[in-house]
Every structure is written in C-alpha cells, then in structure tokens.
Structure 1
Amino acid sequence: MRPSFPGGHGGAQEADGSLGDRRRAVLTCAAVMAVADLLGVDTAVVSTSSPFTDLGLSSSQLARLTAHLEDAMGVEVPLTAIYDHPDIEQLVEYLAMR
C-alpha cells in the first residue's frame, strides 16, 4: 500500500520544480514504518540518522527492506541503494531525487 500524501498532495513536483517537503516527510514516514516493522519495534525508537546496521537490521532484513520500501513508496529501491545511502535520511534524499 502506498502512503497517502498530506493535504491531498499527490507527490507531483511543485511549481518551483522541487519535490517538496511533504513528499520527503511521507517517504521518511514510510521508511521508518518499514524499519520498525522489520525489527518489531515501535516507530518512535527508529532513528532516521542511524545507519541501518546500527539499528539492528541484518543483511537479510536489508534485502527485505527494499521490498517493503518499494511497496510503501511506489519506487524501485535497488539493494545497492541501501548500502550507498546507509540511513533513512540519506536514502530518502536519494529516492526523492529520482
């Protein structure tokens, strides 16, 4: 299920060409929820700036994370992106620029 955008925002580019803070917030929320789901923890304990491995995700969980994120965000997330952008903030920034 894809996340809904606040205020009816469809995730399209805004007038100035930026993807907008709302879209980044939705992407961040989706990533936090996916990580929390994989770890079986509350979303409040998931740091967006800690590396995925420091959060306790194993390599097999990182592979599953890509599928969770693809479903939630509606964008392709290659496994290499998880290693090239090793925390939620960096990954969201990367995905927002695609």
Structure 2
Amino acid sequence: MRPSQPDGQSDTTGNGHTGVRDRRAALADAAVVAIAELLGVAPAAVSTRTPFAELGLSSTQLARLTAQLEDAMGVEVSLEAVYDHPDIEQLAEFLAMR
C-alpha cells in the first residue's frame, strides 16, 4: 500500500518522495512564519522565491532565522546554508534532502 498524502490521495509515483515533499513544505511553511515574525508582516506577504536580502532580512535576522528553523523543525541550519540557498524554496529543498 502506498503512503497517503495529506489530501487523502495516494502517492501515485510509487517512488517514496512523498515524505521529502511533505518535509520540504513543512520547512518552507516554518520559514515563512519565522520571516514574517522577524519582519513584522503577515505570512502572506512573504514570497518563497524572493531572496532573503530582497525581503529585507539583515545578517542578524538571518542568524535568528536559522535558530528559529532549528527550534521549529529540529534540523541543524547553518548560516552558510542560508547564504548558499538564498530563498525559502531553495533552503527548504536543501534541508529536506538532508
């Protein structure tokens, strides 16, 4: 039996990537919420494809972001990873694959 997806549909690919997709989505959601809090804006105002610098995050805020993601998701997030993967989509993809 294939694993179920959150919407109740089965993973028709049969390749077991549902867990990675779910993890990536959870990481992206956690990053959106954390960045919204850091910037004092609504989560809907945070684009997942806009580079962190263009969102207006300072280096201090990026360091706080790593700590918040570590707390929220239980994964180690280095500041180097944030600079190497400069938007939410890229960072979530990288973290989900680890």
State the TM-score bracket (shorter-chain normalisation).
0.7 to 0.9
CA displacement at 1:20 relative to structure 2? 3.5
What's 1:83 paired with?
A: 83
Q: Which runs of 5+ in 2 are unaligned?
A: 7-13
Q: In the TM superposition, what is the alpha-carbon distance from 1:21 to its structure 2 partner? A: 2.3
TM-fit CA distance, 1:17? 3.9
RMSD, aligned α-carbons: 1.6
Gaps of 5+ in 1: 1-5, 8-14
Give the structure-1-normalised TM-score: 0.80
- Identical amino acids, percent of aligned pairs: 66
CA deviations on 1:15-66 (whole Å, 9 max, x unpaired) are: 7342342222111111100110111110000000000010000011011110
- Looking at structure 1, the residues matched to 81 and 73 of structure 2 have their Cα atoms a distance apart, in angstroms, of 14
Q: Normalized against structure 2, the TM-score is what?
A: 0.80
Alignment partner, residue 21 of structure 2:
21
AA of the residue aligned to 1:41: V
**Any runs of at least 4 consecutive aligned residues in structure 1 with deviations exceeding 4 A, and if so which?**
none
Q: Is the 8 A contact 2:20 2:97 kept in 1?
A: no
The one-character-per-residue Cα deviations of 1:44-95 (angstroms, maximum 9, x if unpaired) are 0000000001000001101111001101111000110010000000000000
Alpha-carbon distance in structure 2 between the residues aligned to 1:17 and 1:80? 29
- Whether 1:55 aligns to 2:77 is no
